[in-house]
A and B are shown apart, each in its own frame.
Chain A
Amino acid sequence: MEKEFIRKTEHSVTLNVTAGKIDSFRELEKTTGTVRVYENGLIGVAGCLGEPDEEKLTEQAKEALGFGIPYPCRPEGALELEKHQDEEIIPIPAFIPTMQAFLDRLGELCPRFALSHKIRLEDDRTEYRNSAGRRLVSTGRSISVELLAQDRGSGNLFDTFLVWGGDHFDADELLSYFKMQYDAFCTPADLAPGRYPVVAQAESLYGSFVQHFVGDLYAAGASLLSGKLGEKVFSDNLTIRDDMNPSTACGTCFFDAEGCVAEDCRPVFVKTAC
């Protein structure tokens, strides 16, 4: 019998913003545990919310083998790897005053916007072990600013977002970034209907298409890409990767839930058109 154990701890401090003012402070600490066992091509799974008792979960997972759920795979082989990204971003006691000062300056720079929603500090730890000798640990810290902007008087629930995430906080840098977006918002473009070159964030272009890369849909013939592995399907300029590399995707765990680590932590969907 083979076994995998996963323990995740999420800790976050979230500030709620209403009308540009912080009105709440929320602290979340959440630990989850999962054990998966494999035997004779079957899988048994057990999980819990709260500190995991590995022995108890293992017994429950063994019992779940009796459900007869087929899962013909073997856990990944031996590898010991840890990646830690846990430099302090802002000390918790300084979080409210730092961010309120930032919001006050942002409000002065963007007077048309009524700002609300969340600012969050997160630190997560994920540990994966299996009976084949693999042990992976990933820790990540990140800060995110997710503000809804209502253009005062528009009557809309919101008109645009000011969103940013990173592993450090530089108020001047971020204010400059948001001011650029504000200026663009306040400069309406007079466009005649027609076909134009468009620059867009990558995820907005392929977001609705991404389901066609899902393996079981592909294997069942229900994906638009089914049977086209290795064929030239896209533009020669196009390569699509899933970024699980903490150096560019802040706070991301560098391995998946089965302990797989992709080359450079960036699995490839499309490589130069194929």
Chain B
Amino acid sequence: MIQFRNGFYADIRIEDRSRTVISYKAGALEEMRNRRERQAFLRVYDGNLWYYASVTDVDHLQKTLDGLYAAATENPRILDDPVVRRFEKNRDNISNFAACSVRDIPLKEKQALLLSYLPLLEEDSCVALPEGHYLDRNSQFRFLSSLGADIAYDYQTCGLAFSFSMAEGEKKFSGHWQKGGTRFDDLQGLTEAIRGAVREQTYFLRNSVPVEAGKYPVVLSPEAAGVFAHESFGHKSESDFMLSDESMKDEWQLGKAVGSPILSIAECGSVPGSGFVPYDDEGTKARRNYLIKNGVLAGRLHSAATAAALDEGLTGNARAIDCTFEPIVRMTTTYIEGGGLSFDELIAPIEKGYYIKTIRHGSGMSTFTIAPALAYEIADGKLGRPVQISVITGSVFETLGLIDGLTKDVELLSFVTGGCGKMEQMGLPVGFGGPYVRVSSMNVQ
């Protein structure tokens, strides 16, 4: 039983994490392990400084907490502190995965599933170095605070990731495919999906032609649109970047028009998948937050500290990649809301343009850059040849204003590799997605 002291705010986050990794490279087993780790992160705040400790010895948390209390200064008015006043006092116990925990599935069964798909990568002679990975994670979180919060919830992801180098003559292409889910059963019956993805990429290797650089209408897939929303606008909505420079408050006033009137970007931690965060790492309950609503700046993402500094409400976005780090403002699942068109209706008016189906990476500041993997011509309203595009790029705000079509179908994607990086905390699981998005003009190179 943890004893919190008066005169301080304190909280404790504990994670019991089980992870499985099975990896094959070129047909040979490279890694097969299941690891269980327990770690805790403790915070004490005295109204002036935060004191943090990260420990692997979770059986002696009181001693660590007392050490932090000793470093801090007692503050009889700590409960009046604007940061402390914002903290929620939630008490909850969420168990979504007790009946289907990946911890209960034998390693051999996970290996057999991965092995059943590996031959699909080698059906074409141009594949040189096929890699296949099975990954899962089940975490049991507990959060306790000196204000009385007591939250337990579980988190689970599992998935398959394949990559393969392809070479034919001078042509080279790095292929990949992955499927993320939350239940082991989600990974059954994927043979045709994997085979189709490999065939599409080998066809791309052999038949794609270089793009003619210029400005064109571009259609983004849900994957590309999600990356665009995450990189180009989501990071700008993380309000910790507003704390150092006072002028940012004028620059980022809520209510300002920042995009096309058909554009709404939302963020929500309660979406099932890799971005599932029902309570953030400060114990704040997840909610849907609009970043852009009908083209207007509608909100931003907060921790308690940033919400207090900007005098705004909590959003449930204080997150850490694990119990090594303190929570900072991060995204959960970020998505563009759908419109009213079908895919065919979306591309029908385009005489010459491009469709970005999958991407390698993206980044965004005042300008954004997305490096596509698979892309196709759009000619006279129809999809055409595969094309090699190194980057699509442009001004973030100009591009947000040039969005002129959205499909009604929306896909939210979940992942088991990669993740979002922010400074020292890399690989945070997030989700993203959206509809198919048409932008009337983008730089294509």
Contact = CB atoms under 8 A, between A and B. Distances in A.
B243 A18 contact: yes
Interface residues of B, number: 46
Contacts of A156: 365-366
A50 interface: yes
B167 interface: yes
Interface string B310-327: 000000000000001110
Interface stretch (A65-73, A179-187, A265-273): A65-73
A45 interface: yes
Contacts of A49: 35, 37-39, 56
Contacts of B39: 49
Interface in A25-45: 25-31, 45
Contact of B423 (A29, A118, A150): A118
Contacts of A150: 241, 244-245, 248
A137 B246 CA distance: 48
B243 A116 contact: yes
A153 B247 contact: yes
B346 interface: no
A143 interface: no
A230 interface: no
Contacts of B129: 216-217, 220, 222
Interface in A140-166: 146, 148, 150, 152-158
A158 B51 contact: no
A19 interface: yes
Interface stretch (B24-32, B198-206, B380-388): B24-32
B54 A152 contact: no
Contacts of B54: 26-30
Contacts of A19: 243-245
A155 B53 contact: no
Contacts of A31: 56
B236 A157 contact: yes
A30 B56 contact: yes
B105 interface: no
Given A156-B366, A222-B165, A222-B167, A24 B29 contact: no
Contacts, number: 114
A221 B53 CA distance: 47
B251 interface: yes
Given A150-B241, A152-B245, A217-B165, A157 B235 contact: yes
Contacts of B49: 22-25
Interface string A66-100: 01111000000000000000000000000000000
B241 A25 contact: no
A18 B244 contact: yes
A70 B32 CA distance: 12
A114 interface: yes
Contacts of A24: 49-52, 326
B33 interface: yes
Nearest to A221: B128
Contacts of A158: 241
Interface string B405-445: 00000000000000000011000000000000000000000
A43 to B, nearest CB: 9
Interface in A119-138: none
B244 A220 contact: no
Given A67-B29, A69-B29, A156-B365, A25 B167 contact: no
A115 interface: yes
Contacts of A148: 423
A45 B23 CA distance: 14
Interface string B205-243: 000000000000000000000000000000110001101
Nearest to B53: A27
A28 B324 contact: yes
A69 B28 CA distance: 7
B245 A29 contact: no
Contacts of A221: 128, 167
Contacts of A117: 423
A220 B366 contact: no
A97 to B, nearest CB: 12
A47 interface: yes
Contacts of B161: none
A56 B37 CA distance: 16
Given A25-B71, A27-B52, A155 B248 contact: yes
B55 interface: yes
A158 B71 CA distance: 32
B172 interface: yes
Contacts of A115: 244
B427 to A, nearest CB: 16
A113 to B, nearest CB: 9
Contacts of A240: none
B104 interface: no
A64 B51 CA distance: 40
Given A23-B50, A47-B35, A222 B245 contact: no
30 contacts: A18-B243, A19-B243, A22-B49, A23-B50, A24-B52, A25-B49, A26-B52, A26-B325, A27-B52, A29-B55, A30-B54, A30-B56, A31-B56, A45-B31, A45-B33, A47-B35, A49-B35, A69-B28, A69-B31, A70-B28, A116-B244, A117-B423, A150-B244, A150-B245, A155-B248, A155-B252, A157-B235, A220-B165, A222-B128, A222-B172
The 4 closest A-B pairs by CB, nearest first: A222-B165, A114-B244, A24-B50, A26-B52
Interface of A: 16, 18-20, 22-31, 45, 47-50, 64, 67-70, 114-118, 146, 148, 150, 152-158, 216-217, 220-222
Interface of B: 25-26, 28-33, 35, 37-39, 49-57, 71, 128-129, 165, 167, 172, 235-236, 240-241, 243-248, 251-252, 324-326, 365-366, 423-424
Given A22-B49, A67-B29, A70-B29, 17 more contacts: A16-B50, A18-B240, A18-B243, A28-B54, A31-B56, A49-B38, A70-B28, A115-B244, A150-B248, A153-B245, A155-B366, A157-B235, A157-B236, A216-B25, A221-B167, A222-B167, A222-B172
